[in-house]
Amino acid sequence: MPGPGAYWIDKEEKREVMDVLSSGYLSRYGDLENPDFKHKVYTLEQEFAKYCGVKHAIATSSGTGSILISLLALGISEGDEVIVPGYTFIASISSIIYARSVPVLAEIDESLTVDPDDIEKKITNRTRAIMPVHMLGNPCNMHRIMEIAEKHNLVVIEDCCQAAGASYKGKKLGSIGKIGTFSLNVFKTITAGDGGLIVTNNDELYERAFGLHDQGHKPNRTGLEVGRRSLIGLNFRINELTGAVALAQLRKVDKIIQTLREKKNRFKQSISNIPGVGFRKVYDEKGECATLLTVIFTNKDMAAKVCEKLGTKTISHSGWHVYNNMEQILEHKTPVADWSERSRFASIGSLPKTDDILQRAMNISIGVVDAGLGAGFGININSTDEEIETCAQKFKHACS
Ligand SMILES: *Cc1c(COP(=O)(O)O)cnc(C)c1O
């Protein structure tokens, strides 16, 4: 099963979708003055921008699309280097490759997000951007990252695909860097099956990103714009049905996060004080989504044994999100032969600190139930106190 939003699809989503179907207007574009046009995508963008405390939001067809558009809108291109953690979903890395630039992988720290010290080590005279990824619903060390970016004149693209609704020191994630990207796929905090969002405070960047997502058109086009298009774009639009579901989900996001935090705290309390078992560092306890509870063992053999007993895997062996397991990148399987240069920075074992941490780490699901993330064991957003306690006892027993 997937992320917490998917567990809470209910009458609100149905009502929004039926509203669209009854109106017959399926495209995101229409006359805002026409009462028959329900403008769900437009409303989603307005409400999400407000929610994040930024000027602009654009709804897109995926998180991957959001990242690619952001890189292109920023003018990142041939030969530019973008620093990205080696522990992330492949889309962060593949988007950099498709933007014709070079992903430079950096270590993570005990928060399982990018290690600012290693970012500094990876900066060269070709570095253009840093892409911090707020992995597992937790904010990166944005204070340090913004400091480094300013010092070296780099742009920051926040990958918030796993962290819709999370914040760092009172600011919503996505609003701290120059541009922020989100996903609405089924494993995320809120979902529309698929979809994405981009947020920014920069007017020019907004116009460029909007145009890239819709054939070069100006934001919210209403008619024929021949002769006024400012760039060559593609199509990453979403339709009103997706917008309707996303809008209903957005209106639930705070309740989802609040519920997850309560359940996570309960679980965490039940398994605290076990010898050899710690938790991952969280840079802002008040800001995380609490979709997962990540345990870090002092010893990797103990980690492997406990995971085996519980029918799950350490994060290092969990599949999708670890650079060591991304054969497409490691084997330079780029679609165009001379692009292989762009994945040359990734090779097995090239991030020893990341390897060490992930061999000792285990994800317990709280809201995101995903074996691909190493979170095949745990609870979900609807679990009762009793179920949480039973699950926590199982974990304790496996540790003894
Ligand atoms: C899910 C995810 C993406 C991509 O989102 P899609 O909507 O599936 O394209 C990008 N980055 C991270 C960190 C993700 O978890």
What are the structural domains of the chain?
4-250 (3.40.640.10), 254-399 (3.90.1150.10)
- Tens of pLDDT, residue by residue, the chain (400 residues): 699 999 999 999 999 999 999 999 999 999 999 999 999 999 999 999 999 999 999 999 999 999 999 999 999 999 899 999 999 999 999 999 999 999 999 999 999 999 999 999 999 999 999 999 999 999 999 999 999 999 999 999 999 999 999 999 999 999 999 999 999 999 999 999 999 999 999 999 999 999 999 999 988 876 667 777 889 999 999 999 999 999 999 999 999 999 999 999 999 999 999 999 999 999 999 999 999 999 999 999 999 999 999 999 999 998 789 999 999 999 988 888 888 888 777 899 999 999 999 999 999 999 999 888 888 899 999 999 999 999 999 999 999 9
Q: Which SS3 state, helix, strand or coil, does residue 120 take?
A: helix
Closest ligand 1 atom to 184 CA? 7
**Which residues have any ligand 1 atom within 6 Å of their CB?**
62-64, 88-89, 91-92, 133, 159, 161-162, 183, 185, 196
CA 322 to ligand 1 center in whole angstroms? 14
For CA atoms 147, 148, 151, 153, the dihedral sign is negative
Query: According to the model, what pLDDT value does residue 334 have?
Result: 87
Measured CA distances, 393 to 267, 271, 341 (Å):
10, 8, 49
* Closest C-alpha to ligand 1, atom 10: 91
Reduced 3-state DSSP string for the chain: CCCHHHHCCCHHHHHHHHHHHHHCCCCCCCCCCCCCCCCHHHHHHHHHHHHHCCCEEEEECCHHHHHHHHHHHCCCCCCCEEEEECECCHHHHHHHHHCCCEEEEECECCCCCECHHHHHHHCCCCEEEECCECHHHCCCCHHHHHHHHHHHCCEEEEECCCCCCCEECCEECCCCCCEEEEECCCCCCCCCCCCEEEEECCHHHHHHHHHHHECCCCCCCCCCCCCCCCCCCCECCCCHHHHHHHHHHHCCHHHHHHHHHHHHHHHHHHCCCCCCEEECCCCCCCCCCCCEEEEEECCHHHHHHHHHHCCCCCHHHCCCCEHHHCHHHHCCCCCCHHHHHHHCCCCCCCCHHHHHHHHCEEEEECCCCEHHHCECCECCCCCCHHHHHHHHHHHHHHHC
For CA atoms 340, 235, 184, 59, the dihedral sign is positive
Structure tokens at 13: 């989503």
CA 140 to ligand 1 center in whole angstroms? 16
Closest CA to 38 of 253, 251, 247: 247
CA 273 to ligand 1 center in whole angstroms? 34
Measured CA distances, 328 to 94, 96, 135 (Å):
9, 14, 21
59 sits in which H/E element:
strand 56-60
Alpha-carbon gap, residue 334 to 269, rounded angstroms: 46
Q: Are 58 and 40 in contact (CB under 8 A)?
A: no
pTM assigned to the model: 0.97
For CA atoms 379, 360, 133, 72, the dihedral sign is negative
* Closest C-alpha to ligand 1, atom 1: 161
Query: According to the model, what pLDDT value does residue 373 have?
Result: 86
